Amino acid sequence: MKTNIRQFRQGLGMTQQELAESVGVTRQTINALENARYNPSLILAYKITKNLGKDAIEEVFVLDEND
């Protein structure tokens, strides 16, 4: 699954560590999400979306038809 986490996070001046702490995961998890190596649970996707100041999960997470 592709994500826009990195772009939104950097736009807010937020580090991977800061985002990770705010949603209750490790920095490595955020890195894996940003590099499309991990698909989050719905709850984690929602938390990340809200912490990035977005209203819709679809703004942050892009379902690739090949996934």
The three state secondary structure string of the chain is CEECHHHHHHHCCCCHHHHHHHHCCCHHHHHHHHCCCCCCCHHHHHHHHHHCCCCCHHHHEECCCCC
In a domain, 67, yes or no: no
CATH number, domain of 41, equals 1.10.260.40
If you average pLDDT over every residue of the chain, what do you get? 95
What's the whole-model pTM score? 0.91
Domain with 52, as residue range(s), is 2-62
Q: What is the pLDDT of residue 55?
A: 96
How confident is residue 64, by pLDDT bands cut at 50, 70 and 90? confident
Structural domains of the chain, count: 1
Tell me, what amino acid is at 12?
L
- Are 60 and 8 in contact by the 8 Å Cβ rule? The answer is yes
* Res 45 pLDDT > 70: yes
In a domain, 52, yes or no: yes
Q: How far apart, in whole angstroms, are the C-alpha atoms of residue 13 and residue 1?
A: 24
- Are 60 and 52 in contact by the 8 Å Cβ rule? The answer is yes
How confident is residue 4, by pLDDT bands cut at 50, 70 and 90? very high
How confident is residue 19, by pLDDT bands cut at 50, 70 and 90? very high
